[in-house]
Amino acid sequence: MKHHIIILLSCVSLLTGCAAAPLLVVGGAAATGGYYVGKDERSAKRIAKDSMITAEINAQILRDDMIKSSVMDINVNTYRGAVTLSGNLPSQEMIDQTIQIVENVDGVKEVNSLLSVEPAE
């Protein structure tokens, strides 16, 4: 049964992107999870909320026809509801669309964009 839970959590992390990793660590291995939570001044609840926000942003990006092909070029970091986006996208239009998606996700308090335009070769 324990192996089934780990496999299920691994599958979920693949579907939601890297954001699920902290949840996996906290839920998967108590010693590692305790270390992770102990090194962050946020509560475990806040870490989980931030991870869920990041996962929802990644899911929304994957649903958007304009930017889903560039999802691997966008790094999403959420800390206390403030989202920082970094990476390179082929156009300003794609950057603007990404920011708009993030602004509409529940729980997002602030959006900091470090995204830049790097035309595709």
What mean pLDDT value characterizes the chain?
78
- pLDDT given for residue 37 in this prediction: 52
- What does the pLDDT look like over 51-93, one tens digit per residue? 999 999 999 999 999 999 988 999 999 999 999 999 999 999 9
State how far the Cα of 24 lies from the Cα of 82, in Å rounded to an integer.
21
Give me the mean pLDDT over the 29-40 stretch.
Answer: 52
Q: The pTM is what?
A: 0.68
**Domain ranges for the chain:** 2-117
Sign of CA dihedral 92, 93, 94, 95: positive
Give me the mean pLDDT over the 98-117 stretch.
Answer: 98
